[in-house]
Amino acid sequence: MIKVAKALMIVGTMSNAGKSLVTAGLCRVFNQDGYKVAPFKSQNMALNSFITAEGAEMGRAQVVQAEAANIEPSVLMNPILLKPTSDSGSQVIVNGEAIGTMKAGEYYAMKHTLRPEVQKAFDTLASKFDIVCIEGAGSPAEINIKKDDFVNMGMAKMAKAPVLLVADIDRGGVFASIYGTLMLLEDDEREMVKGVIINKFRGDVEILRPGLKMIEDKTGVPIVGVLPMLKVDIEDEDSLSERISGRSEVKLIDIAVVRIPRMSNYTDFNVFELIPGVSLRYVTSVRELGQPDMIIIPGTKNTTGDLKWLRQSGMEAAILKHANSGTVVFGVCGGYQMLGKQISDPYGEEDGTGKANVTPGMGLLDIETTFIEKKRTIQMAGKFGQVQGIFSALSGLPLYGYEIHSGVTEFPEEKALTSISPIHENGEIMAEGSQNTEGKLNVYGTYVHGVFDGDGIAVKIVEALLAKKGKKMDDIQTINFAEYKRQQYDILADSIRENLDMKKIYEILEAGV
């Protein structure tokens, strides 16, 4: 007899209600309780993505949830990923591979053909685990796009999963959003919702209790817990993240990440936030840029489009001025491509015209990039080569990460930044990245996402920036980023246990629908 996991679905009254974090927390609790648990989200729209050991691309939210569950991420956990390329179009990735770029209308016209892929991915996952925690997207009450739904209540029906509804009280109107969401569901869908979680609460829960009873009486759905505004450092998704929208205090070492319009994988830089005396700021204008010690140009889903934005906004001129005065400039993936001499797009993929074009780069690195039709998606491990300039202390340090890019970049090997080898392949060690330390320049670039996460790398960078200012920080400790993340997942699980009725949730899970 084929094993089938118990399934539990977590949906939200709106985007950013906290369902990703709640799903991660439940995955951690179930794992701590001895169950083999996996996350699942049929369709994710995000620019933050990850490459699995098999070279498949998936959303980072399910990677975080897999980490919380103590398992390796698999593309089965996120069979469809939409990566926005413009306000009306996205690259569509199915089972880890891009199948094309589509306008919203084009995608909705064909998405019903993807339903079998979603069912197959879920069934395969369910055959390997005890519990599958399914995360919805947006709101289940989006009545304009409910047709052919396999993301929210449609997915719950496919998985035969009871549903928990997460509502954000911090924005106000929580009871109206709970009631409105439930009333907009079809009768059979409403019957599948077995509990409500109120999230991001501040204050005395006793004052809230009359409202909790009233909403239970009006909807017939029990409140299974009230989660406080959690203080955990766990990755969140894309532009909704307070991490990139909040204003940060400028500290002794100031690192500015340029918040380009289609920025991707901003989580590459989270490790710097763990170092005392370091500010990590996301900036969108020359005024906000200020006088940083290091400028990072991150990855992007549209390299040439975001490079044009840098020019039109005046940011390129400001970055060039800083670079020529000795400020460190570091580009990752698309940011690395922008730092070169030129970017060739023979297929017109980036601007969507289908016409060949060449865009001049910023000219800070001696590299040239050409976009090809096949995307490189691979995990890798390696080390820094002979690093020159201010970051010479990085030379020889081991690193790990992954690559997601369509560009092929030519560079002088004597200026390579790293040497890498694909994981789970018998590939040769290859040079990668580039650097320019001529004159006052301290410019570096790499395709490797996660390049700063290896033990001691971020600390070495901060120490070098401090030394440039004639200062040092004796109490800086080498950060084990993996261990830090494990601690944060345990803190999240503790809060889930303390504030949710886990006995009731287990009963819901066991009873099914």
Is the separation of the CB atoms in 298 and 266 below 8 Å? yes
- pLDDT score, position 44: 93
Mean pLDDT of the chain: 91
- pLDDT score, position 84: 86
Q: Which residue in 27, 133, 333, 405 is the catalytic one? A: 333
> Does 253-472 match 6-234+487-511 at the fold level?
yes
Confidence of residue 239 (pLDDT cuts 50, 70, 90): very low
Confidence of residue 462 (pLDDT cuts 50, 70, 90): very high
**Tens digit of each residue's pLDDT (9 = 90 or more) over 381-403:** 999 999 999 999 999 999 999 99
Residue 295 structure tokens:
């400028």
Percent of the chain with pLDDT strictly greater than 70: 94
- pLDDT score, position 473: 75
- Residues 6 or more apart from 160 whose CB is under 8 A from it? 7, 512, 513
Average pLDDT over residues 496-512: 95
Determine which of 180-189, 264-273, 497-506 has the lowest per-residue pLDDT on average.
Answer: 264-273
Q: Which residue in 27, 322, 405, 449 is the catalytic one? A: 449
Most confident of 151-165, 342-356, 409-423: 151-165
Is the separation of the CB atoms in 368 and 91 below 8 Å? no
Is the separation of the CB atoms in 42 and 138 below 8 Å? no
**Tens digit of each residue's pLDDT (9 = 90 or more) over 357-369:** 899 999 999 999 9
Calculate the CA 254 to chain-centre distance.
23
The domain spans of the chain are 6-234+487-511, 253-472
Check if 449 is active-site. yes
**Tens digit of each residue's pLDDT (9 = 90 or more) over 451-461:** 999 989 999 99
- pLDDT score, position 224: 97
Check if 405 is active-site. no
CATH topology for 6-234+487-511? Rossmann fold (3.40.50)
- pLDDT score, position 366: 96
Average pLDDT over residues 468-494: 84
- pLDDT score, position 1: 39
Q: What angle separates helix 481-499 from helix 19-32, to the nearest 10 degrees?
A: 90
Cα radius of gyration rounded to whole Å, the chain: 24
Average pLDDT over residues 433-446: 96
Average pLDDT over residues 44-64: 91
Is the separation of the CB atoms in 416 and 346 below 8 Å? no
Query: Is residue 222 scored above 50 in pLDDT?
Result: yes
> Which among 393, 383, 387, 392 is positioned nearest to 451, based on CA atoms?
383
Confidence of residue 237 (pLDDT cuts 50, 70, 90): low
**Tens digit of each residue's pLDDT (9 = 90 or more) over 167-214:** 999 988 999 999 999 999 999 999 999 999 999 999 888 999 999 999
Query: Is residue 56 scored above 90 in pLDDT?
Result: yes
Question: 253-472: what CATH class?
Answer: alpha beta
